[in-house]
Amino acid sequence: MLGLPDDVTACLFDLDGVLTGTAELHRAAWKETFDALLRGRDGADFAPFTEADYNNYVDGRPRFDGVREFLTSRHIQLPEGTPDDPPSAETVGGVGNRKNVRVQQIIAERGVNPYAGSVRYLEAAKQAGIRIAVVTSSANGAAVLDAGDLSKYVEARIDGVVIAERKLKGKPAPDSFLAGAEALGVAKEQAAVFEDALSGVQAGKTGGFGYVVGVDRVGQAEALRTHGADVVVTDLAELLDES
């Protein structure tokens, strides 16, 4: 009834872009942050942060990894700093924290809107006795789940805070998803990964999970398949409709 292989007993959901529309809020915060940095460096003729930059270097990755990947793509070097650097610092830590302050402001302004199809899917999974975890690189995972009234579906949460505390490798490494399966007490072969980010789909594939669902919100279905998705949908309700 869930569009998954029969031996799947657990679902590991990314959050932003899979369960909630907050991916676009993160994208906006990243663009504001990086465009300001680039404008200050290159002047009015700077090359702005693009949708492709977001998808290739930032989406799905832990915050500071995203900063490093994007800056490297533009041949920009900043001091590493620390994760506790103030947002004003011109360091990797400072840029990442600058973005986090901005995304929290945007979330407060616009609110959190879960996808209706994702809520339907969560309800169906819960009714079917499927174990549910959220695996997100965002340090704001708990707040977003609460704001979207989704915490009631979730048994375990591996978010950016947990990833940092446990020193887990971020996506595209599979470590955070493996931690999610472990938290639910299921083998990775019995868990399905749901991801909209190329790095997250790659993590599900290389981690050897039982099934990888790519969620295409931005027109990158073929890229999701190339990175390892077993199936690609534009909304999780499609899996229910196909069951």
Is 196 noted as a catalytic residue in this protein? no
Is residue 15 within 8 Å of residue 138, measured between CB atoms? Answer: yes
For residue 67, the model assigns a pLDDT of 98
Is residue 181 within 8 Å of residue 52, measured between CB atoms? Answer: no
Is residue 20 within 8 Å of residue 115, measured between CB atoms? Answer: yes
What is the second-level CATH architecture of the domain 24-110? Orthogonal Bundle (1.10)
Question: What CA–CA distance (Å, rounded) separates 164 from 185?
Answer: 21
Residue 107 has pLDDT above 70, yes or no: yes
Tokens of 216: 């295409």
Q: Where are the domains of the chain?
A: 10-22+113-242, 24-110
For residue 23, the model assigns a pLDDT of 86
For residue 169, the 8-state DSSP code is: P
For residue 241, the model assigns a pLDDT of 72
For residue 203, the model assigns a pLDDT of 97
Is 146 noted as a catalytic residue in this protein? no
DSSP characters for 200-234?
Answer: HHHHHHHTT-SEEEEE-SSS-HHHHHHTT-SEEES
As a residue count, the chain comes to: 243
Question: What CA–CA distance (Å, rounded) separates 63 from 199?
Answer: 13
Residue 172 has pLDDT above 80, yes or no: yes
Tokens of 71: 């800056």
- With 0-12 / 13-18 / 19 or more C-beta atoms within 10 angstroms meaning exposed / middle / buried, residue 76 is middle
For residue 215, the model assigns a pLDDT of 98
Catalytic residue among 6, 16, 85, 230: 16
For residue 97, the 8-state DSSP code is: H
| Percent of the chain that is helix, strand, coil (3-state, to 5) | 50, 10, 35
Summary mean pLDDT of the chain:
96
What's the rounded mean pLDDT across residues 222-242?
A: 95
Residue 243 has pLDDT above 60, yes or no: no
* Residue 1's pLDDT band (cuts 50, 70, 90): confident
For residue 33, the model assigns a pLDDT of 98
Q: Write out pLDDT tens, residues 47-96.
A: 999 999 999 999 999 999 999 999 999 999 999 999 999 999 999 999 99
Tokens of 170: 């971020």
Task: Supply the pTM of this predicted model.
Answer: 0.87
For residue 242, the model assigns a pLDDT of 62
* φ, ψ of residue 124 in degrees (nearest 5): -65, -40
Counting DSSP H helices and E strands in the chain, the numbers are 11, 6
User: Residue 201's closest CA among 231, 179, 180, 167?
Assistant: 231
Catalytic residue among 6, 7, 14, 59: 14
Lateral strand order in the sheet of 131-135: 156-158, 131-135, 10-13, 191-195, 211-215, 231-233
What is the second-level CATH architecture of the domain 10-22+113-242? 3-Layer(aba) Sandwich (3.40)
Handedness of CA 65, 215, 33, 135 (dihedral sign): negative
